[in-house]
């Protein structure tokens, strides 16, 4: 697959009430909102936007604090709540005249998807989550997961200072994420790592991203009711966050879902197995599916 560089996509910005959102938008058909995770921004969907745009109106935003979207005051950690992200997206959809969408999220984006569904169920036709977490997962994660160090590290002002101290330090940090959390540690090319480094060296991007860890609103501020929203869950089997940490909890929160465990994929399934993801979204959103556990 030929690598599409950031400037080869169709870029848009929209000035909202509290932030300016930058997003990629391509294609036509039913709208599909792709929500990035950490460490990410809109370009993490680079292998998906083109193929999906043949079937959907694909919109891939940078969340507030990331990429080329606004960074609210960095000392106002409360402004980095995923609740604000959802408000941003709803306002964006209203501006674009989109009443109902398909929704797909990764990592942080999984929390956004869970909460979006519960706040705006009437606006979501169906949703998908990659390498997800669900309520009840957090306690297991912090108690059993050896990679949880970064949750604590990101709380420190020192984290921004160290990672942003030089381009070399920033590159080493994101190379670790992209290689260590992938099934193939050499999947991400030097060119791709440079793009991530360039993006997070932009003013405010490191601090804005770390603020999503500092706000500590995971699974809070929402009425966690059982949802009937049709869901597609995809889990990379080589993800350091093992499937056993969360998949048994899904049935507590959703009544209509499929779960697929993908071999040869780690945490960045959209980049590691793009054809699998693209096909599952088309099947799950446009062609229906069978519930599995």
Sign of torsion over alpha carbons 62, 66, 69, 70: positive
Q: Which of 64, 69, 19, 24 is nearest to 43 (CA)?
A: 24
222 and 253 Cβ atoms separated by less than 8 Å: no
CA distances from 242 to 114, 221, 266 (A): 20, 26, 10
CA distances from 158 to 39, 64, 90, 114, 164 (A): 18, 22, 34, 31, 10
Q: Which of 43, 22, 35 is nearest to 131 (CA)?
A: 35
Active site includes 23? no
Active site includes 107? yes
The one catalytic residue among 84, 114, 154, 267: 267
C-alpha 62/C-alpha 100 separation (Å) is: 20
The one catalytic residue among 213, 217, 239, 254: 213
The one catalytic residue among 57, 68, 107, 217: 107
H/E element, 27? strand 20-27
Question: 44-76 in b/e burial notation, b at 16+ Cβ within 10 A?
Answer: bbbbbbbbbbebbbbbbbbbbbbbbbbbbebee
46 and 71 Cβ atoms separated by less than 8 Å: no
Active site includes 87? no
Residues identified as active-site: 107, 213, 267
């Amino acid at each position: 697959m030929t690598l599409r560089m950031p400037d080869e996509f169709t870029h848009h910005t929209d000035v909202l009430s509290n932030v300016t959102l930058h997003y990629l938008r391509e294609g036509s058909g039913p709208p599909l909102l792709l929500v990035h995770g950490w460490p990410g921004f809109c370009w993490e969907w680079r292998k998906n936007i083109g193929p999906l745009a043949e079937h959907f109106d694909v919109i891939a935003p940078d969340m507030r604090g990331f990429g080329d979207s606004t960074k609210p005051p960095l000392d106002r950690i409360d402004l980095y709540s995923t609740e604000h992200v959802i408000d941003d997206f709803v306002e964006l959809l209203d501006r674009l005249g989109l009443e109902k969408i398909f929704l797909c999220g990764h990592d942080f984006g999984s929390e956004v998807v869970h909460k979006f569904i519960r706040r705006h169920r009437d606006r979501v036709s169906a949703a998908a989550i990659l390498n997800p977490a669900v309520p009840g997962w957090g306690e297991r994660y912090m108690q059993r997961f050896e990679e949880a160090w970064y949750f604590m590290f990101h709380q420190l002002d020192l984290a921004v200072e160290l990672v942003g101290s030089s381009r070399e330090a920033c590159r080493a940090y994101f190379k670790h994420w992209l290689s260590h959390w992938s099934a193939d540690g050499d999947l991400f090319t030097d060119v791709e790592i440079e793009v991530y480094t360039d993006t997070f060296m932009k003013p405010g991007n490191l601090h804005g991203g770390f603020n999503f860890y500092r706000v500590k609103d995971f699974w809070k501020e929402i009425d966690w009711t059982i949802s009937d929203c049709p869901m597609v869950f995809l889990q990379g089997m080589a993800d350091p966050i093992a499937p056993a940490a969360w998949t048994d909890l899904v049935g507590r929160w959703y009544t209509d879902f499929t779960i697929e465990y993908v071999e040869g994929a780690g945490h960045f399934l959209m980049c590691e197995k793009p054809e699998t993801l693209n096909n599952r979204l088309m099947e799950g959103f446009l062609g229906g599916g069978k519930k599995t556990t």
